[in-house]
């Protein structure tokens, strides 16, 4: 069974952080950021909670789909920057959007979160005939967990949210999800701290580098090495399942982390860069929101058209990676 991405929506906070803004308080430059990453600017959340950004994107997607929220039977929110440890943002959105009877949960697969969520939604649609439509929302405010003193990491990230309404279809579909947990310590942000009284009495080395709670740590070079292999591997594994190659794909929509990663992966796949959607220059890396934000923008600009074959490829903390191949 395949799926149809019935409609998409997006939301960006108003504030834009340029490379020069960072150069104003960090030992960095527009030239370094641009040449090493391809990023020029990114949006940064102000007062908006992450759930609110997700709600705005979802409202747009539902309106464009022309459906009633009451017909949505599944809500999945992918995020690494939830406003809450609990409840899930998905539960908050289920109520806020007027969705009455739906399973709702958050999914954390880091920057692969959209790919994981779409594939999870497809599995629900395949096995539960009571679900007519699934809503997948990817909402992120990386600005809330980045360390603004860490110049090699903070300049990469941006904030935003995107959503899509999904229904069953008989269109082409394949997917591949994987994870290499041996790299978990290379990219992380801790969520909870040990109670001070316990910390004072004993210590435990969990093997993760020292970093304050809620601050993102990244071993950039190691993650880079992983990413340039993971991107082609994730696509090829899904493509082999249905006997296609990169030649059969109209558009690759990869996770928007660093243009050099995309260029290297394109070279390894022997696919021209003209088949890759790249929006990281003005979005930065928005973690799980990056693929749907790039896809939605390409649809709005008329670049991606109905009937075309897409490869959505994610990679990130975990280290997780995966791809979904589908017809738009
Ligand atoms: O979404 C999750 C997945 N994440 C990724 O895919 C990120 C993968 N990693 C990367 O994209 C790259 O590793 C970075 C963009 C994070 C870093 O680029 P790099 O080419 O790997 O740089 P580097 O870490 O090897 O650093 C090169 C130099 C260093 O100086 P020295 O030691 O050569 O003197 C850094 O201190 O660049 C320096 N540097 C900077 N200089 C100016 C690091 N960050 C900056 C900066 N401005 N912002």
| 285 has catalytic annotation | yes
283 is catalytic: no
pTM comes to 0.97
123 in contact with ligand 1, CB cutoff 6 A:
no
Per DSSP, the residues of 175-192 read: EEEEE-GGGGGGEE----
Ligand 1 nearest-atom number relative to CA 227: 6
Distance 37 CA to ligand 1 centre (A): 8
Half-sphere exposure of 10 (CA within 13 A, CB side): 21
Domain housing 296: 174-327
Assign residue 117 the CATH number of its domain: 3.40.47.10
275: Cα within 13 Å, side-chain hemisphere: 19
Query: Active-site residue among 19, 43, 111, 154?
Result: 111
Segment 170-179, tens digit of pLDDT: 999 999 999 9
Q: What is the pLDDT of residue 203?
A: 77
- Assign 328 a pLDDT band (cuts: 50, 70, 90): very high
Strands (E), the chain: 2-11, 16-18, 41-43, 72-78, 103-107, 133-141, 159-169, 173-179, 187-188, 217-218, 251-254, 309-316, 320-327
Q: Are residues 101 and 206 in the same domain?
A: no
Atom 44 of ligand 1, residue of closest alpha carbon:
152
Can you tell me which atom of ligand 1 is nearest the CA of 154? 48
Contact by Cβ (8 Å): 322, 176: yes
Number of structural domains the chain divides into: 2
Identify whether 111 is a catalytic site residue.
yes
Average pLDDT, the chain: 97
Same domain membership, residue 160 and residue 14: yes
- Structure-token match 């070079």, residue found: 221
**Do 93 and 212 belong together in one domain?**
no
CA pseudo-torsion sign 33, 35, 40, 46: negative
Q: Are residues 179 and 308 in the same domain?
A: yes
Of the candidates 19, 258, 285, 296, the residue annotated as catalytic is 285
**pLDDT surpassing 90 at residue 22:** yes
pLDDT band at 196 (very low <50, low <70, confident <90, very high): confident
Q: Of the candidates 170, 190, 218, which is a domain's last residue? A: 170
Hey, whose CA ends up nearest to atom 23 of ligand 1?
Answer: 221
Contact 136, 118 (CB under 8 A): yes
How far is 79 from 106, CA to CA, in rounded Å?
A: 7
161, β-bridge pairs: 11, 139
Q: What is the pLDDT of residues 71-120, one digit of tens each?
A: 999 999 999 999 999 999 999 999 999 999 999 999 999 999 999 999 99
Q: How far apart are CA 96 and CA 91, in angstroms?
A: 9
How many whole angstroms separate alpha carbon 53 and alpha carbon 100? 20
Residue 40 contacts residue 19 (beta carbons within 8 Å): yes
- Domain end residue (candidates: 143, 170, 197): 170
User: In the structure encoding, which two tokens stand for residue 36, read together?
Assistant: 């090493």
224 pLDDT above the threshold of 80: yes
Q: Would you say the CB of residue 316 lies under 6 angstroms from ligand 1?
A: yes
Share of the chain above pLDDT 90, in %: 93
Bridging pattern class, strands 72-78 and 103-107 = parallel
Determine phi and psi for 299, rounding to 5 degrees.
-70, -45
Last residue of a domain, one of 170, 194, 226: 170
Tell me the C-alpha distance between 141 and 147, whole Å: 13
Radius of gyration of the chain (CA): 19
Residue 198 has pLDDT above 90, yes or no: no
């Amino acid at each position: 069974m395949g799926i149809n991405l019935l409609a998409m929506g997006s939301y960006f906070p108003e504030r834009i952080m340029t490379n020069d803004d960072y150069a104003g308080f960090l030992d960095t430059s527009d030239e370094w950021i641009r040449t090493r990453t391809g990023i020029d600017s990114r949006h940064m959340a102000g007062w908006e909670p992450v759930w609110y950004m997700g709600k705005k994107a979802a409202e747009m997607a539902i309106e464009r789909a022309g459906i009633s929220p009451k017909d949505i039977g599944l809500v999945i929110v992918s995020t690494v920057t939830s406003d809450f440890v609990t409840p899930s943002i998905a539960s908050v959105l289920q109520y806020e959007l007027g969705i009455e009877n739906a399973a709702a949960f958050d999914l954390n697969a880091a920057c692969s979160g959209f790919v994981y969520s779409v594939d999870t939604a497809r599995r629900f649609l395949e096995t539960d005939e009571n679900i007519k439509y699934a809503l997948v929302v990817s909402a992120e405010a990386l600005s809330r967990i980045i360390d603004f003193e860490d110049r090699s990491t903070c300049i990469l990230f941006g904030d935003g949210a995107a959503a899509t309404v999904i229904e069953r279809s008989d269109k082409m579909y394949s997917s591949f999800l994987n994870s290499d947990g041996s790299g978990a310590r290379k990219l992380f942000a801790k969520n909870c701290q040990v109670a001070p009284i316990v910390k004072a009495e004993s210590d435990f080395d969990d093997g993760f580098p020292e970093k304050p709670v809620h601050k993102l740590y990244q071993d950039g070079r190691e993650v880079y090495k992983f990413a340039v292999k993971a991107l082609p591997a994730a696509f090829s594994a899904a493509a082999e399942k249905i006997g296609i190659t990169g030649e059969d794909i109209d558009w690759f929509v990869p996770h928007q982390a660093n243009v050099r990663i995309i260029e290297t992966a394109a070279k390894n796949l022997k696919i021209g860069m003209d088949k890759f959607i790249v929006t990281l220059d003005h979005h930065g890396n928005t973690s799980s929101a990056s693929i749907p934000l790039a896809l939605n923008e390409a649809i709005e600009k008329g670049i991606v058209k109905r009937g075309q074959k897409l490869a959505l490829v994610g990679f990130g903390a975990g280290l997780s990676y995966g791809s979904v191949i589908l017809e738009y």
